[in-house]
Amino acid sequence: MKAAPFAYHRPASVTDAVALLGEYGDDAKILAGGQSLVPMLAMRLTHFGNLIDISRVHELTDIDRIGDEVRIGAATPHAFVGLDDEVAESVPLLTLATPHIGHFQIRTRGTLGGAIAHADPAAEYAAVALALDATIEATSARGVREIPAAEFFTGLWETALASDEILTAVRFPVWSGRCGFAVQEFARRHGDFAIAGAVVGLQLGDDDRVTRCGIGLLGLGSTPLRATAAEAAVLGGQVGAVTPEEIGRLALSDLTEIPADLQGTAEYRRRVGATMVARAFEQARTQATEGAIDA
Amino acid sequence: MHELPVEVSVNGQTYRGQVEPRVTLADFLRENCGLTGTHLGCEHGACGACTVLLDGQAVRSCLIFAVQVDGQDVTTVEGIAEPDGCLSPVQAALKECHGLQCGFCTPGFVTSITALLRDNPAPTDEEIREGLSGNFCRCTGYQGIINAVHRAAELSTREAQRDLEVHAQQ
């Protein structure tokens, strides 16, 4: 349970980090909070000749409201995201998702950018980024590239980042008006990877018609997923027109890669997933229609 | 692989060493500093036995490389008691409420509960269960530990009140 040898680099700026990554390419990995990478190194599931530690690059830990978006620096720890007032006010889905990530001793160290770049299928922030149509900023020596969340997750622990790019920030759109947000997940032990889960964002017009709906799914494929069929069924109609159970069923209907492991069969995950979607949708709908603050 | 210099303040004392980058903070504490109170259970962040306070925040010392904490402050279980050896409220409560048996997981519980009560001095049962969900104990069945957190919260509050009264009398 000890990592194989590697060389360690701790750049002081994004510019230096990008230069190092350009130099070492595929033989380098960015180390942020290390809460997923270090166990994988310890178990020798992966190895890199060089680790580039960005946990002390201060320019990567800012949270800023810029226009209709909240921009969160990649190295911001989960614990900071979860406690931030601007985030709670403007992107409450992140605040609701945070307590589900690992345990508090993990959230002090794990980072928002790390969670999204690692791209675990059960990653809460990744599902939130998908549901809200976030924009991911990738920085390399060539400049900053913007990647829509919908195009970011390409496979199990694989992303659209090039080997010389660092995920430096994520911009989450601020939804305003009559909105509801909810996170539901099921795990055998609090803080474990979810067997299945769902994050829901819902925005209603004055006539109770759904003007925006984002449903992110956790643990139900090789990447975090977006339930587009369920969203389409809801969008534009009266919010009560489709039952939460039907939305849950639709959300799971076109999934083809539901994992099966010791935690449960694919069929079991499908049922749990549909229930999580139904519960999260119901909760978001209640909040949007009643304006309840306590989600 | 070449070694790098590391300087860490542990329980108020400065430790310097030359370590390979792959050496975890937990191994640095145990092997370079001789502080074997920090225990290693799973070595991949699941069991919580190796929890220490890094600049005051509870973290898994098996998931941090020693080179990463150069220049930072670490508190281990050895630094939780009073300088005269008197148990902290958390340690006293664990003893009183049978919150430990074999003791292997206890250092991680002591550091985790210390951080938990600092941020939330009067937690509910549910908050305690959530807060300690990342620490395994294979002996106690957890009930004694949860009772100990409530007891430690009481002891800390009483201690704080006494300090206030003493201060007022002066």
Mean pLDDT of chain A: 96
Same domain as A77, residue A168: yes
Assign domain B89-169 to its CATH superfamily: [2Fe-2S]-binding domain (1.10.150.120)
Give the rounded percent of residues in chain A with a pLDDT score beyond 70. Answer: 99
Contacts of A39 in chain B (CB under 8 A): 44-45, 63
**ipTM computed for the complex:** 0.93
The CATH number for A14's domain is 3.30.43.10
Q: Which residue has the tokens 């919580």?
A: B48
Same domain as A273, residue A193: yes
CA distance A106 to chain B (A): 6
Kindly determine whether residue A39 and residue B44, on different chains, have CB atoms separated by under 8 Å: yes
Contacts of A102 in chain B (CB under 8 A): 134
Same domain as A190, residue A90: no
Give pLDDT, residue B1. 61
The CATH number for A263's domain is 3.30.390.50
Helix or strand or coil: residue B131?
helix
Kindly determine whether residue A108 and residue B59, on different chains, have CB atoms separated by under 8 Å: yes
Mean pLDDT of chain B: 95
Kindly determine whether residue B129 and residue A190, on different chains, have CB atoms separated by under 8 Å: yes
Is residue A2 a part of any domain in this protein?
Answer: no
Kindly determine whether residue B60 and residue A109, on different chains, have CB atoms separated by under 8 Å: yes
Query: How many CB pairs lie under 8 A apart between chains A and B?
Result: 89
Kindly determine whether residue B45 and residue A106, on different chains, have CB atoms separated by under 8 Å: yes
Beta strand A50-53 pairing with A28-31: parallel
How many C-beta atoms surround the C-beta of residue B18 within 10 A?
A: 11
Q: Could you tell me where the beta strands, DSSP code E, fall in A116-209?
A: 135-140, 143-148, 153-155, 158-159, 166-173, 178-186, 196-204
Distance CA A82, CA A84 (A): 6
pTM of the predicted model over 0.90: yes
Nearest CA in chain B to A48: B22
The per-residue pLDDT string of chain B (170 residues; one tens digit each, 9 = 90 and over) reads 689 999 999 999 999 999 999 999 999 999 999 999 999 999 999 999 999 999 999 999 999 999 999 999 999 999 999 999 999 999 999 999 999 999 999 999 999 999 999 999 999 999 999 999 999 999 999 999 999 999 999 998 888 888 888 888 77
Is residue A295 a part of any domain in this protein?
Answer: no
Same domain as A43, residue A124: no
A interface toward B at CB cutoff 8 Å? 1-8, 10, 31, 34-35, 38-39, 41-43, 51, 53, 55, 79, 99, 102-106, 108-109, 189-191
Smallest CA-to-CA distance from B110 within B38, B27, B13, B34 is with B38
* pLDDT, tens digit, 9 for 90 and up, residues A5-31: 999 999 999 999 999 999 999 999 999
Is residue A293 a part of any domain in this protein?
Answer: no
Sheet with strand A50-53: strands edge to edge? A7-9, A50-53, A28-31
The CATH number for A70's domain is 3.30.465.10
B interface toward A at CB cutoff 8 Å? 1-2, 4, 20-22, 24, 27, 42-45, 48, 51, 54, 57-60, 62-65, 67-68, 112, 115-116, 129-131, 133-134
Q: Residue A199: beta bridge partners?
A: A183, A216
CA dist list (Å): A167 to A41, A49, A138, A159, A281? 20, 20, 4, 10, 30
Beta strand B57-60 pairing with B73-75: unpaired
Cβ-in-10-Å burial (0-12, 13-18, 19+) of A36 comes to: buried
Same domain as A270, residue A188: yes
Contact indicator for A104, B120 with CB cutoff of 8 Å: no
Q: Which one of 3.10.20.30, 1.10.3720.10, 3.90.180.10, 3.40.50.10310 gives the CATH number of domain B4-79?
A: 3.10.20.30
* Segment A242-265 mean pLDDT: 95
CA distance B166 to chain A (A): 35
For CATH 1.10.150.120, the residue range(s) in chain B are 89-169
pLDDT class for A192, splitting at 50, 70, 90?
A: confident
* Segment A75-97 mean pLDDT: 98
For CATH 3.10.20.30, the residue range(s) in chain B are 4-79
CA distance B91 to chain A (A): 19
Question: How many domains are contained in chain A?
Answer: 3
Contacts of B48 in chain A (CB under 8 A): 103, 105
CA distance A55 to chain B (A): 8
Same domain as A238, residue A141: no
Kindly determine whether residue B22 and residue A6, on different chains, have CB atoms separated by under 8 Å: yes
Q: Residue A139: beta bridge partners?
A: A144, A166
Range of the domain at A113: 58-173
- Choose one of A125, A150, A173: the last residue of a domain: A173
Same domain as A169, residue A101: yes
Task: Choose the closest CB to B134 out of A4, A6, A191.
Answer: A191
Same domain as A155, residue A215: no
Q: Residue A218: beta bridge partners?
A: A197
Is residue A1 a part of any domain in this protein?
Answer: no
- CA B25-B30-B33 angle, 5° bins: 90
Interface-testing mutation among A103, A120, A185, A189, with chain B (most B C-beta atoms within 10 A): A103
Nearest CA in chain B to A35: B63
